[in-house]
Structure 1
Amino acid sequence: MLKREHLASAQIADGELLELYTHAGHFMIVMGRNELMSTRMAFSEEQLAELTIERLGKPDARILIGGYGMGFTYRAARARLADSAEIVIAEISDAIIAWATGPMAQLTGDSLSDPRLDLRICDVAALIDDANDGTSAKFDAILLDVDNGPDGLVRDANNRIYSRTGLAKARDALKPGGILAVWSAGPDPAFRKRLHDTGLDIVEWKVRSRPNNKGAHHIIWFAQKV
């Protein structure tokens, strides 16, 4: 039986340790006993971008993606947006980008050289704050996949993004008709209520982690500013 091979480790801002492994031709990023993402299960992360852009109906959109991860959401977005679009990514750890261009370079390809990409090593909340302060343009869509859902599993600081105040800031950072899309590993009725309380139009969408209706059940919330 093949054992998974440890490739790299990196500490994130809160001192938690992220680890990169490979197993049977796949990559996985792990924190403790939690597998945060894997190349085996990318479908729902791709759907986060595909379904948001489909609902938005604006191929030249300016979008913000919170969390690069393995780049599945980003690559799905760039495949569906026009040359005039802008894709801003906030990734908290530069090690994640180093892994993307190092051990996972074959997966990444040349996607990080896309002229539409504005990659920032920062907390996504900072870019949302910039849009609210008028120091940066607002977004047509904000796609959040900075944790395993709105529970701050990876970083306690992520809880503020999913709080009522954080969600209100995300709403205010959107242009009229803009969409806040949030990925989660599972349902969260309390979060859905907080999202509803922002005054956005909410759709809760169930999606599998793999195509052909296979894999774990994940949730994407689409919240549109009217």
Structure 2
Amino acid sequence: MPVDSFDAPVDAPVVIERREGPYGEVVLRRRGGHHEIIANGCFLMDTSDGRSERLLVDAALAALPAGRQAPSVLIGGLGVGFSLARAAAGRRWGRITVVEREAAVIDWHRTGPLSAISGAALADPRTEVVHADLVAYLADRSGPVFDALCLDIDNGPDWTVAEDNDSLYSPAGLASCRARLAPGGVLAVWSAQPSPAFEQALRNAGFAGVTTEEIAVARGVPDVVHLAISAA
């Protein structure tokens, strides 16, 4: 149900909507001029920056062969919409598929305040939003293959809010990612911190060209994007 208050201090978070779903509670809050998504009491993301979410898409595109025409991209996790908006703003991308398991998040983009970020991208004819759990979606080997997988799930491989998201970064999860990539395709994984252990896990899973790109943040360790190439 919508909840709001006009008596809160400017910097105090104001709950816009709180919703219970199959994976627990998700909350959309406004803090000053920005919005935040909270899952089961843990901060996930907000609209204050977005550089690393855009890098997720830009780095994947840059890693693809230059001659690949209209490459397809799967964005795992709609989040606050920065990655989707970036992909739709680039005319080189072909099919853009977004997989999001929280119905509330999809609603906040379609009819809520997050449409300010994603509205044009959702209206793009290349865009399809799939309401599904990403781990299960990728494990279905009968599904389509993509030229790039851009995954922004939880807080990255080393710190997940939802325990079942751990399996995405496991050997089985990475094998599912490889199976859903076209030859020479790119896996890009957002993380709230660098992870040498995850880099090694990518190599162990058979990926090549494993690299990490960093985005400095105001405080603490940088956000990163881990990149890996599927064998051609």
1:219 counterpart residue number: 224
Count matched residues. Answer: 217
1:127 counterpart residue number: 137
State the one-letter code of the partner of 1:23: R
Contact 2:213–2:226 (CA<8 Å) still a contact in 1? Answer: yes
2:183 counterpart residue number: 176
Of residues 152, 163, 179, the one that matches 1:156 is 163
Contact 1:86–1:117 (CA<8 Å) still a contact in 2? Answer: yes
1:95 counterpart residue number: 104
Is 1:206 matched with 2:214? yes
2:5 counterpart residue number: none
Give the alignment's TM-score, normalised by structure 1.
Answer: 0.88
Of residues 122, 139, 145, the one that matches 1:138 is 145
Contact 2:199–2:211 (CA<8 Å) still a contact in 1? Answer: no
Contact 2:75–2:151 (CA<8 Å) still a contact in 1? Answer: yes
Report the CA distance between 1:110 and its aligned residue. Answer: 2.9
Q: 1:150 to 1:163 in 2, by over 3 A?
A: same
Summarize deviations over 1:126-148 as a string: whole Å, max 9, x none.
33233x2xx33211011110110
State the one-letter code of the partner of 1:94: A
Distance in structure 2 (CA, Å) of the matches to 1:34 and 1:204: 26
State the one-letter code of the partner of 1:107: I
- Aligned CA RMSD, in angstroms, stands at 1.9
Report the CA distance between 1:189 and its aligned residue. Answer: 2.6
- 1:37-52 → structure 2 map (5 Å cutoff): 37-52=45-60
Secondary structure of the corresponding residue to residue 109 of structure 1: helix
Is 1:34 matched with 2:42? yes
Is 1:107 matched with 2:117? yes
- 1:51-70 → structure 2 map (5 Å cutoff): 51-56=59-64, 57=66, 58=68, 60-70=70-80
Distance in structure 2 (CA, Å) of the matches to 1:172 and 1:32: 31
Is 1:80 matched with 2:90? yes
In structure 1, stretches of 5+ residues that fail to align are: none
Secondary structure of the corresponding residue to residue 35 of structure 1: strand
Report the CA distance between 1:70 and its aligned residue. Answer: 1.0
Of residues 18, 25, 40, the one that matches 2:33 is 25
Distance in structure 2 (CA, Å) of the matches to 1:142 and 1:53: 10
Report the CA distance between 1:24 and its aligned residue. Answer: 1.5
Secondary structure of the corresponding residue to residue 19 of structure 2: strand
Contact 2:89–2:121 (CA<8 Å) still a contact in 1? Answer: no
State the one-letter code of the partner of 1:47: L
Is 1:189 matched with 2:201? no
Report the CA distance between 1:198 and its aligned residue. Answer: 1.1
Report the CA distance between 1:215 and its aligned residue. Answer: 6.0
State the one-letter code of the partner of 2:116: Q
Q: Percent identity?
A: 33
State the one-letter code of the partner of 2:37: I
